[in-house]
Amino acid sequence: MRGHRRGGPEQLTYEIAPRPVPGRGEVYGLIPFTRDGAVARFVAVPAAVLAAEPARLDHDHAAALPPAGLTAWQGLVVHGGLRPGARVLVQGGAGGAGSLPVQVAVALGASVTATADAEAADFVRELGAGQVVDHRSERFEAQVKDVDLVFDTVGGDTQKRSWQVLRPGGRLVSIDATKEGGRFFVVEPDRTGLEELSRLVADGEPAPPVDRVLPLAETAQAYAALEQGHRRGKTVLHVS
Ligand SMILES: NC(=O)c1ccc[n+]([C@@H]2O[C@H](COP(=O)([O-])OP(=O)(O)OC[C@H]3O[C@@H](n4cnc5c(N)ncnc54)[C@H](OP(=O)(O)O)[C@@H]3O)[C@@H](O)[C@H]2O)c1
């Protein structure tokens, strides 16, 4: 249904819009969390959560985009209210969930500082961060101040210390479930967000970093590797 005209109830009109029909071609999306997971050759999902896969990416890189890309988009834009020219601090900028916020924020015209360990500093700079703070040897609050938005993927003490680097009125969004405060959110399936990400990809950003690609038969090894940490982007299961 489409609504029309702003104003009181007497102004409101609506029309029944045609239901979108999936066309030919490849699609990508984030499977709703109420469904069984994606470690399978086939999955049934509502068409409403799918968008056309960006032509510039191969399937492995396209597969990496919906979870981390939508997390980035929703955290930065929907919850964080990001505007071009904003100053953003990404906590955990080398991780599976932290690397896309760096890329997407830069693509949207923000200047980005990210925390990461020293070994990952070059990787995070290549993602577009103008400044990288080594979270093991440096205090980020000694180097960063007056940021408009903190995107926190780490939580705990890192999140508590993040409040002091915000400008008055700045926002802290968090995906860490320890919920120390800030605007905690869980990523949701979102066609509009995917279409915005596809548009950014078509413009040249962001190609999501992929740490490793494993065949479906090696799913157990993929999860074991996730538990060891120190990732540089997403782990992808290649189905066929
Ligand atoms: N709410 C949501 O919608 C949502 C969505 C996705 C993920 N998540 C959550 O987000 C969190 C991160 O997930 P992930 O996939 O990004 O994990 P990950 O790939 O393991 O990455 C975590 C990153 O954080 C870094 N790190 C650790 N301690 C740090 C510190 N004190 N300061 C700065 N960086 C630090 C790690 O660096 P080292 O290599 O140095 O250890 C690593 O690069 C998890 O809790 C996950 O459950 C939530």
pLDDT band at residue 37 using 50, 70 and 90 as cut-offs: low
Minimum CA distance residue for ligand 1 atom 26: 92
Q: Give the Å distance between the CA of 239 and the centre of ligand 1.
A: 25
Choice between 107 and 240, residue whose per-residue pLDDT is larger? 107
Q: What is the mean pLDDT of the chain?
A: 89
**Ranges 5-19, 183-197, 201-215: which has the least confidence:** 5-19
Cβ neighbours around 202 below 10 Å, total? 11
Q: Give the Å distance between the CA of 175 and the centre of ligand 1.
A: 9
Gap between the Cα atoms of 50 and 210, Å rounded = 21
In this structure, the dihedral spanned by the alpha carbons of residues 220, 225, 226 and 231, taken in order and rounded to 10 degrees, is -150
Atom of ligand 1 nearest to the CA of 95: 21
pLDDT band at residue 23 using 50, 70 and 90 as cut-offs: low
Domains, in order of start, for the chain: 29-238 (3.90.180.10)
For 218-232, the pLDDT digits (tens) are 999 999 988 887 777
Q: Give the Å distance between the CA of 154 and the centre of ligand 1.
A: 5
Give the pLDDT score at 177.
77
For 169-185, the pLDDT digits (tens) are 999 999 987 766 678 99
Q: What's the 3-state SS for the chain?
A: CEEECCCCHHHCEEECCCCCCCCCCCEEECCCCCCCCCCCCCCCCCHHHEEECCCCCCHHHHHHHHHHHHHHHHHHHHHCCCCCCCEEEEECCCCCCCHHHHHHHHHCCCEEEEEECHHHHHHHHHHCCCEEEECCCCCHHHCCCCEEEEEECCCHHHHHHHHHHEEEEEEEEECCCCCCCCEECCCCCCHHHHHHHHHHHHCCCCCCCEEEEEEHHHHHHHHHHHHHCCCCCEEEEECC
In terms of Cβ atoms closer than 10 Å to its own Cβ (0-12, 13-18, 19+), residue 55 is exposed
Give the pLDDT score at 208.
85
Q: Spell out a b/e string for 81-100, using b for 16 or more CB atoms within 10 Å of the CB, else e.
A: ebeeebbbbbbbbbbbbbbb
Residue among 91, 112, 175 to mutate when testing ligand 1 (max atoms within 8 A of CB)? 175
Q: Give the Å distance between the CA of 37 and the centre of ligand 1.
A: 21
For the chain, give the number of residues.
240
For 44-88, the pLDDT digits (tens) are 888 889 999 888 899 999 999 999 999 999 999 999 999 999 999
